[in-house]
Structure 1
């Protein structure tokens, strides 16, 4: 059987309004992300790559595929294409300063006798720069961290981003925001113009695919949760539910760190604001 020729690389795919509405509804059901009507061009551009890869001629054909109950793999590809993955090492650097200068010393000072457990969750870790920034901070700022039972959990809904983070290789230009002392200690420059994250960090960080709206299989509580520039894509009821779940899984007095444009105001009464999008669990 002769395979149908792929469409020309420059073929433009027109996304009808009703097709956008259907795709937006699917994305919200799968991830909780709400797409405004202004995102129609973004959806058209990102999913056009999937249509070309599949040899399709229009979005109607694509919807036939992703609405098939047996098409879980392509729905995952759709989610990967439509989720935003803007990140960087030590982005919003004050959060890492606070982690290293305030949170970790307090945890070390007040830990129960015989306890050395430290758990930090990077929820919505994208390609991994955030959890590796957390891990660098732990290694540099927590005295005798090697003697601790310390782990950083890094989760994202995008399977491609999880794989990138787990590999721990990045273009060298992306390392410019890493403090110089950390670059020398934790990043190995490769001949290919990339940097490799040190093995000690890759051992400290565990990458997992996770949908924040689904079940959370983690056992035990976290001391700190980073969930930055993620909930901004959810509606208010979903944000309220998510913040409540974060409070449930945080240890007493644990910290929640959110993005620069996010707030818990009128969404949760279980945290106190410490300033600069840093919150502490109170209930």
Structure 2
């Protein structure tokens, strides 16, 4: 792969997915895209780039998906799901007692382990949520990973990563060498294709948003834009869950951290109290530059 090929791919990925590759990630691009090139009968990354430049839109889409498919596993990092069990769900059960509904968004859900982990947490609450409408919306840029997520079919290796054995026995059925989530858990999750760079206001308001381990791949301006739009999607007393390596500090004042709860945020009351509610994107850029 030539330096010009790499620059073309860097610009394309930034424009299509927000992925901000540094100049030293050429090895990553080659490891992800060489198998794709060979699958379509091309020998090199350069040949792949030439074909993309000729207008091969499906190939371009495949390249973006190959570069943005990230690792995931059940109950990843554990702490976010501890937060979901306490304080989030007990608090929401009280505050939503009149409407009897909870909406949760799993953004960049990949092959579905995160939203299904959320669904299993909700099931653990049993009688407390009896008669409630619980809606989990799972979105991802890649149609391929969404199809796998919808099927809820996982290998022995995948179910061994983070999934407690009692939940495997309770919520999965073995199919040959694979394990499939039972239909009642699968039915709790709606899967939709979505690019976080584009408008997502049509999804409506949420009580909880999981947006973990995706913003680390974006540049500062893109992070600011996404945080601004996430703030408009969250109920005033809702919760935002970020990944262990992610933070709002120095990026936005739209959210404030929950005390002693790593990765957990709520809307910033000080900003909500300002005239006009949420600050403008321009205002956020000024705040981030301080």
- TM-score exceeds 0.5: yes
Q: Structure 1, residues 14-60: CA drift from partner, whole Å, max 9, x if none?
A: x1111001011000000111011221011112211222122224333
Alignment RMSD: 1.6
Corresponding pairs, count: 266
Tell whether 2:26 aligns with 1:40.
yes
Tell whether 2:82 aligns with 1:82.
no
Tell whether 2:18 aligns with 1:18.
no
Counterpart in the other structure of 2:209: 225
After superposing the two structures, state which structure 1 stretch, 248-257 or 138-147, moved more. 138-147
Query: Cα–Cα, structure 1 residues 183 and 29, in superposed 2: closer, same or farther, change >3 Å?
Result: same
Is contact 1:105-1:142 (8 Å) kept? no
Q: Structure 1, residues 124-148: CA drift from partner, whole Å, max 9, x if none?
A: 1011101100000011125343511
Tell whether 2:204 aligns with 1:249.
no
Tell whether 2:46 aligns with 1:60.
yes
Structure 1 segments, 4+ long, off by >6 Å, are none
Is contact 2:135-2:188 (8 Å) kept? yes
Tell whether 2:73 aligns with 1:93.
no
Tell whether 2:154 aligns with 1:154.
no
Query: Cα–Cα, structure 1 residues 261 and 39, in superposed 2: closer, same or farther, change >3 Å?
Result: same
Counterpart CA distance in 1 for 2:241 and 2:251 is 15
Q: Equivalent residue of 1:147, what SS?
A: coil
Counterpart in the other structure of 2:286: none
Counterpart CA distance in 1 for 2:245 and 2:69 is 15
Counterpart CA distance in 2 for 1:194 and 1:219 is 32
Unaligned stretches of 5+ in structure 2? 273-290
Q: Structure 1, residues 74-130: CA drift from partner, whole Å, max 9, x if none?
A: 1110011111421100011111111012111111111152x0221111101011101
Counterpart CA distance in 2 for 1:39 and 1:128 is 27
Q: Equivalent residue of 2:150, what SS?
A: helix
After superposing the two structures, state which structure 1 stretch, 135-144 or 88-97, moved more. 135-144
Q: Structure 1, residues 152-210: CA drift from partner, whole Å, max 9, x if none?
A: 111111221111111101012322322233222211122x2211111111100011111
TM-score (norm 2): 0.87
Q: What is the Cα deviation at residue 217 of structure 1? A: 5.5
TM-score (norm 1): 0.89
Counterpart in the other structure of 1:209: 193
